[in-house]
């Protein structure tokens, strides 16, 4: 399932690196959002141009195809930091303490290995496109910039997973119930309680301002 998560912070070196790295992830995620906005604008211009003037945007499909890599990958590390990726936690949700952190550590290590393989394969795919001058079919956009986004985004994801592995190792060593720099998955009841508290707080602020 997909869950909300809390990431705890403190004054440790791990937490400082985590917060600094999160700034980079946030910038990349924002960039992905800007690309989505530009695609919406492009689609609107394409539709209106075709409708009113019979002049669609040349190479519209090519631009959309190139943008897909930015949409799909720029926010991947940001989502990993917040624990927003879909996961099955019916069994893991019943674990606590070191047992939970061991399972999360094994899971994160496996994810890191898969990510490293994907980095290698996607880089080769980029380099092949770059070396042969691969381009799109319609207006011949070079495809290597979009393909380069994939190994870069996956490398940032790998670094994020390494930080989380550090967090789980630290939690196992210290026996901590609330580790730093890792997403602490919240139950549906906890998420509902936070949302209710947020609504109550917002209503109270509006009443005071009125």
Give tens-digit pLDDT for 172-185.
998 888 899 998 87
Domain that holds residue 152: 7-85+93-191
First vs last C-alpha separation in the chain:
40
- The answer to whether residue 160 is domain-embedded is yes
pLDDT score for 137: 87
For the cut 70, the answer to whether the pLDDT of residue 204 exceeds it is no
pLDDT tens column, 143-160: 999 999 999 999 999 999
Locate all alpha helices (DSSP H) within the chain, ordered by sequence.
13-48, 60-73, 76-81, 97-132, 144-174, 188-209
Range scoring the smallest mean pLDDT among 2-16, 19-33, 123-137: 2-16
The whole-number pLDDT of residue 191 equals 61
User: Does residue 143 belong to any structural domain of this protein?
Assistant: yes
pLDDT at res. 198 = 63
Per the CB < 8 A criterion, the answer to whether 29 and 185 are in contact is no
Q: Determine the Cα–Cα distance for residues 68 and 40; give it in Å rounded to an integer.
A: 13
Q: What is the mean pLDDT of the chain?
A: 87
| Residue 205, domain member (yes or no) | no
* Short-list 194, 163, 203, 195, CA closest to 179: 163
User: Does residue 198 sit within a domain?
Assistant: no
CA dist 65 and 86 (Å) reads 25
Give the pLDDT score at 6: 83
For 53-98, the pLDDT digits (tens) are 888 888 999 999 999 999 999 999 999 998 887 777 777 777 788 9
**Model's pTM, two decimal places?**
0.85
Q: Which two tokens stand for residue 65?
A: 């195809």
User: Has residue 206 been placed in a domain?
Assistant: no
Question: Domain for residue 197, yes or no?
Answer: no
Q: How far is CA 101 from CA 14, 25, 96, 174, 178, in A?
A: 16, 24, 8, 11, 10
Select from 167, 13, 147, 188 the least CA-distant residue to 80.
167
* SS3 (DSSP) at 50: helix
Checking if the pLDDT of 209 tops 70, the result is: no
Q: How many domains would you assign to the chain?
A: 1
For residue 126, being part of any structural domain is answered with yes
151 inside domain: yes
């Amino acid at each position: 399932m997909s869950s909300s998560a809390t990431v705890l912070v403190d004054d440790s070196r791990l937490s400082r690196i985590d917060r600094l790295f999160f700034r980079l992830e946030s910038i990349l995620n924002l960039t992905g959002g800007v690309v989505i906005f530009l695609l919406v604008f492009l689609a609107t211009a394409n539709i209106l141009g075709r409708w009113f003037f019979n002049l669609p945007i040349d190479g519209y499909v090519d631009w959309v195809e190139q943008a897909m890599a930015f949409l799909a990958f720029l926010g991947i590390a940001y989502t990993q930091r917040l624990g927003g990726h879909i996961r099955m936690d019916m069994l893991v949700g019943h674990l606590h303490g070191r047992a939970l952190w061991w399972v999360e550590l094994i899971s994160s290590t496996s994810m890191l290995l898969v990510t490293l393989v994907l980095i290698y394969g996607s880089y080769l795919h980029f380099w092949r496109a770059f070396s042969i001058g691969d381009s799109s079919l319609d207006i011949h956009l070079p495809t290597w910039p979009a393909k380069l986004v994939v190994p870069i985004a996956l490398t940032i994801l790998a670094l994020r997973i390494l930080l989380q592995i550090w967090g789980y190792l630290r939690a196992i060593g210290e026996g901590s119930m609330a580790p730093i720099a890792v997403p602490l998955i919240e139950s549906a009841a906890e998420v509902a309680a936070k949302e209710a508290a947020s609504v109550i707080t917002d209503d109270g602020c509006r009443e005071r301002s009125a």
